Structure 1
Amino acid sequence: MHLSIICRILGILLMLFSFTMLPPIIVSLIYDDGQLAPFVDAFGLILFIGLLVWFPVRNKKEDLRVRDGFVITVLFWLVLSLSGSIPLYVSDNPSMSFVDAYFESLSGLTTTGATVITGIDDLPKSILWYRQQLQWLGGMGIIVLAVAILPMLGIGGMQLYRAETPGPVKDNKLTPRITETAKALWYIYLGLTTVCGIGYWLAGMTPFDAITHSFSTIAIGGFSTHDDSIGYFDSTAIELIAVVFMFLAGVNYALHFFSWRQRSIFVYLKDPEFQFYAFVVGGVSVITISVLIATETYEVSEAITSGLFEVVSIATTTGFATADFANWPLVLPFLLFVVAFIGGCAGSTGGGMKVIRVLLIYKQGLREVKRLIHPNAVIPVKLGRKPVPDRVIEAVWGFFSVYMFMFVFMLIILLATGLDQVTAWSAVGACINNLGPGLGDVAYHYGDLNSTAKWVLCFAMLLGRLEVFTLLLLFTPAFWRH
């Protein structure tokens, strides 16, 4: 373990993060909302701490090992969320306890979208901007952004990228150099954000709402500048734009990259993960719309738009709302919530277990059935025409097992704090899947939960964002042995 290089990188990353306080400062000056001091104080404090950590080890130059990469990734998310909570904690509007400020900050950075704040419409503009900005920065992972910058400072970044990037296969790179990979991802991310914001603006949003909602849409975050979320605008055009960009943001960014480079949409259509992703979203949408029409919950046109919007929002783990899906009839609330466990594609900004893992689990299940009939047959699991190595299948099953074990473990703790079963179950599911809205007492916000429950859910959000193993690895004795 190279403590000096870890401190050096953390210091640099903290100093970089301090400059994210500048946009809210500008917004506060423009709208004169009285929130200049919290952001100025946060900027100075984070910059000073980063400088304090970096300066003593500024000349240390050592190779970054895989183990160091995992430590830096986890530490930085912890430190980052703590730093991000400073403006929220210092501000008098909203007035927040430390646990609430940390919860809100971590929820934003992990793109969970679970909020403890009510009366969002009355918040200062700079605070509203800041919440949305946290999600946008967290959407692609601020580590990936740093990977594009750190090589210029003499620091390699492959280990960080491997620890941060989701999906069962970690070593795939879009371009030969990891720096170019990170830049390519951010160009696509920025491009989608820009087009989405323009679409919202043309559909009737104010420039402020269009920009801030494009942040949370492409980040698959779900924070909004209004208590009624996207439903505040009461616009079919805005809802359909949101559906398109939520769906696109849930797709593997590698596909976006190759589709753009090859100027062809057939890249998507040939990908097994995308096919399964579209099948799940499309199939659940048809079921949801059919039930809403059959039960006369809405008129046909409203059933189509509301049903499609909520399915895409929940399935991609965005968490935007135009309707109270928790009170929809029959099996719909449970169905939509379970779909969030699948989540977005690997390499996307979505949460959940990822489509590729669920697809591989399904194919492995089919293989086991066939083996019962033909015990001596060699039956490979394939994605498209390519066989998947058994080591990958084992890793996926290992991930699924640990994922569910941690889910049950945190569920038991929440039940022990006095929460009812529906609230506890959905709160853990919403946070570990980085979804946001749950059922029961957390259908609208998490502000009424006890402090112990909030800390457990903070752990769940971080666990989901770092895809379980990256975080749990630090709790194993073997990791710390020389």
Structure 2
Amino acid sequence: MHFNVIARVLGILLMLFSLTTLPPLLVSMWYADGATQAFASALLLTFGIGFISWLPVRHVRHELRTRDGFIITVLFWLVLAFSGTFPFMLAENPGLSFTDAFFESLSGWTTTGATVMTGLDHLPQSILWYRQQLQWLGGMGIIVLAVAVLPMLGIGGMQLFRAEIPGPMKDSKLTPRITETAKALWYIYLMLTIACAVGYWLAGMSVFDAIGHSFSTVAIGGFSTHDASLGYFDSAAIEMIAVFFMLVSSLNFGLHFYAWRNRSLAHFIRDSELKFFFMVIGGGILLTIPALYLTNTYSWQESVRYGIFELVTVATTTGFSTADFSLWPVFLPVLLFMMAFIGGCAGSTGGGMKVIRIMLIYKQGIREIHRLIHPNAIIPVKVGKRPVSERVLEAVWGFFAVYVLTYMVMMLALLATGLDHVTAFSAVGACLNNLGPGLGEVASHYGNISDTAKWILSLTMLLGRLEIFTLLVLVSPAFWRS
């Protein structure tokens, strides 16, 4: 284990991250909102800690091994989440406690969108910008993590593509070097953000709100600059723009990369995961709209408008809101919440278990039914026209089993803090799937639950974002013995 190299990498990361406080610092100076000193102090603190970590080991050079990669990946999210707490604690408004600041920071970094903050309309503009920026930077980190890092470590949803599935993602990297991969993904991510911001602005948002909401839309984050979220604008045009970019950002960014490089959309049409994703979304919409109309919740036009938006924002694990779906009648709150368990496609900013895994579980279930009818038949599970190996199917079922076990353990832990069953069930699901809003006491925010519950949910968010195994492998004795 090369701890000196790990310290050097983390020191550099902290020094670079300190520079990300410059935009909110400038925003604070522009609006004179009283948070300038907080951001200046946060910049110096973060840079200083990074410099102190880097200085003693600045000349150390070793090639990183797989085990080092696991540690750096986990520490990347933890260290940056800790340093991200400084502005929230140092600014007079909101002046959060360490627990609340860490929860908010980690929620932003993991693009979960679960918040402990209320009164957003009265917060300094720089703090609002900072929250949105955290999600945007976290979303880009997730793309690089999912597409370039985790497959190299042998885990993650994109590993399934690399190992078995034909098409543009069959290689471990999009371009020969990981730095080139990251640069290409940054360009695509940035272009989507700019296009989204322009769309919001043309639809009636202010420049500040348009940029802020484009950050959280493309990151599939869900943070907003208003307590009422996108419902503040009461605009069907803004909501449909959000729906479009939430869906686009929930797709495999490897597909976006090849569309950009080859100037062709043909591979989108051929992608099995994408087709399964839209089939699930379409099925959910066909259930939601009639249910809203037939229960006299809304008029037909409103049922279409709110039904489509709320289903897409929850199913993609974004978490924006124009209506409180937790109050909808019959099965709808549970339907929407369960959609988040599927989440986005592998290699996207979306959370959940990922569409590719659900698709393979579904296909294997169909195969088992056919095997009961034809016991001696050899029936492969296929994606497209090519069979998927049994090793990949075992990996999918292994992930599913650990996911369910993690869910149960975290829910029991929350129940032990005194939360009711609905709140505990939905809070764990919302954080493990990186969705944000839940049901019960956490339908609008997480500020009223205990500090112990917040730390449990912080761990849950991290587990969900790192696809569980990345974090669990570090507690395995075999990892440290090898």
TM-score normalised by the chain length of structure 2: 0.95
Q: What residue number does 2:182 align with?
A: 182
Rate the CA distance shift 1:456–1:477 in 2: closer, same or farther, 3 A: same
Q: What residue number does 2:289 align with?
A: 289
Cα distance in 1, alignment partners of residues 303 and 447 from structure 2: 31
SS of residue paired to 2:449: coil
What's the CA shift for 1:97?
1.1
What's the CA shift for 1:361?
0.6
SS of residue paired to 2:375: coil
Rate the CA distance shift 1:384–1:357 in 2: closer, same or farther, 3 A: same
Rate the CA distance shift 1:175–1:208 in 2: closer, same or farther, 3 A: same
Rate the CA distance shift 1:163–1:59 in 2: closer, same or farther, 3 A: farther
What is the one-letter code of the residue matched to 1:364? Q
Q: What residue number does 2:445 align with?
A: 445
What's the CA shift for 1:266?
2.3
Cα deviation digits, residues 291-311 of structure 1 (max 9, x gap)? 111112111111111100001
Q: What residue number does 2:370 align with?
A: 370
State yes or no: 1:65 paired with 2:56: no
Q: What residue number does 1:152 align with?
A: none
State yes or no: 1:167 paired with 2:186: no
Rate the CA distance shift 1:439–1:143 in 2: closer, same or farther, 3 A: closer
State yes or no: 1:263 paired with 2:263: yes
Cα distance in 1, alignment partners of residues 43 and 154 from structure 2: 28
What is the one-letter code of the residue matched to 2:158? G
Q: What residue number does 1:206 align with?
A: 206
Cα distance in 2, alignment partners of residues 161 and 76 from structure 1: 16
Q: What residue number does 2:165 align with?
A: none
Cα distance in 1, alignment partners of residues 108 and 150 from structure 2: 24
Cα deviation digits, residues 378-415 of structure 1 (max 9, x gap)? 21111010111111111110000000100000000111
Cα distance in 2, alignment partners of residues 376 and 62 from structure 1: 53
More deviation, 210-219/383-392:
383-392
Q: What residue number does 2:40 align with?
A: 40
State yes or no: 1:352 paired with 2:343: no
Q: After superposition, where does 1:260-339 map in structure 2 within 5 Å? A: 260-339=260-339
Rate the CA distance shift 1:240–1:391 in 2: closer, same or farther, 3 A: same
State yes or no: 1:429 paired with 2:429: yes
Rate the CA distance shift 1:161–1:231 in 2: closer, same or farther, 3 A: farther
State yes or no: 1:104 paired with 2:104: yes
SS of residue paired to 2:226: coil
Rate the CA distance shift 1:143–1:256 in 2: closer, same or farther, 3 A: closer
Cα distance in 2, alignment partners of residues 18 and 388 from structure 1: 44
State yes or no: 1:113 paired with 2:104: no
Rate the CA distance shift 1:228–1:158 in 2: closer, same or farther, 3 A: closer
Q: What residue number does 2:408 align with?
A: 408
What's the CA shift for 1:246?
0.3
Displacement over 6 Å in runs of 4+: none
Q: What residue number does 1:478 align with?
A: 478
Cα distance in 2, alignment partners of residues 227 and 163 from structure 1: 41
C-alpha contact 1:28 1:125 (8 A) present in aligned 2: yes
Identity %: 64
SS of residue paired to 1:141: helix
C-alpha contact 2:84 2:105 (8 A) present in aligned 1: yes
C-alpha contact 1:132 1:215 (8 A) present in aligned 2: yes
SS of residue paired to 1:195: helix
Rate the CA distance shift 1:447–1:159 in 2: closer, same or farther, 3 A: closer
What's the CA shift for 1:131?
0.2
Rate the CA distance shift 1:375–1:362 in 2: closer, same or farther, 3 A: same
State yes or no: 1:454 paired with 2:445: no
What's the CA shift for 1:375?
2.1
What's the CA shift for 1:259?
1.9
RMSD (CA atoms)? 1.6
Unaligned runs of 5+ in 1: 148-156
More deviation, 380-389/334-343:
380-389
Q: What residue number does 2:399 align with?
A: 399
What is the one-letter code of the residue matched to 1:344? G
State yes or no: 1:93 paired with 2:84: no
Cα distance in 1, alignment partners of residues 149 and 139 from structure 2: 19
Cα deviation digits, residues 313-356 of structure 1 (max 9, x gap)? 00000000000100011100000000000000000000000000
Cα distance in 2, alignment partners of residues 197 and 67 from structure 1: 40
SS of residue paired to 1:330: coil
Cα distance in 2, alignment partners of residues 379 and 276 from structure 1: 20
State yes or no: 1:54 paired with 2:45: no
Rate the CA distance shift 1:435–1:158 in 2: closer, same or farther, 3 A: closer
SS of residue paired to 1:415: helix
SS of residue paired to 2:285: helix
More deviation, 235-244/375-384:
375-384
Rate the CA distance shift 1:102–1:450 in 2: closer, same or farther, 3 A: same
Rate the CA distance shift 1:54–1:454 in 2: closer, same or farther, 3 A: same
What's the CA shift for 1:240?
0.5
Rate the CA distance shift 1:381–1:142 in 2: closer, same or farther, 3 A: closer
What's the CA shift for 1:163?
7.5
Cα distance in 2, alignment partners of residues 332 and 453 from structure 1: 27
Cα distance in 2, alignment partners of residues 301 and 25 from structure 1: 43
Unaligned runs of 5+ in 2: 163-170
What is the one-letter code of the residue matched to 1:167? M
